[in-house]
Structure 1
Amino acid sequence: MSLPIDLTDLVGTLAACLTTLSFLPQAWLTFKTRDVRGVSLGMYSVFAIGVALWLAYGLLLRAWPIVIANAATLALALAILGMKLRYRRNP
């Protein structure tokens, strides 16, 4: 008996969905409140570079689940990073 989806693909898809969706609450809250005090510029900068590299890795492998998940995550991380730069208050 064969399952319609491989367990490995199921786990990978679920992991990709959850890690990507985890950025939605932060992005929405930041957009809604324009409060970026709790957002680390350094962390989001390094994270965005890392995700961009994962995206490149997925493209090189032609591993479309990796590409799709990291493209979406990169878009959300860059949106949060952009709001951090736009809404921060200079002393």
Structure 2
Amino acid sequence: MSGLDILGFVAALLTTLCWLPQAFRTIRTKDTKSLSLATQSAFTLGVGLWLIYGIVAGNAPIIFANSVTFVLVALILAMKLRYG
């Protein structure tokens, strides 16, 4: 593993972990009123596209980060759609 890959994985870890508190809070409280549906939808789509890009490019840090982040933000989006 190269230094560049390590840098990518550290960045992926940090940007992915930042979604955990929001996901846990949303699951626990079911409060999504303050979340923008348009923003959450666009972000979820963007993360999904980054995941596809990472898969096609064979870039492990991008695949890792966007796989985990996609699950978290898609869960938040689903809860926004369900609970408004």
Higher helix share: 2
1:49 aligns with 2:49: no
* Structure 2 residues without counterparts, runs of 5 or longer: none
Question: How many positions carry a matched residue from both structures?
Answer: 84
TM-score (norm 1): 0.85
Percent identity (aligned): 46
* Structure 1 residues without counterparts, runs of 5 or longer: none
Measured after TM superposition, the shift of residue 39 of structure 1 is: 1.1
Distance 2:58 2:2 in 1: 19
Distance 2:19 2:9 in 1: 16
TM-score (norm 2): 0.91
Which has the larger Rg? 1
Measured after TM superposition, the shift of residue 61 of structure 1 is: 0.9
Q: Which has the higher contact order (CA 8 A, sep 6+)?
A: 2
1:38 aligns with 2:34: yes
1:24 aligns with 2:29: no
Measured after TM superposition, the shift of residue 62 of structure 1 is: 1.3
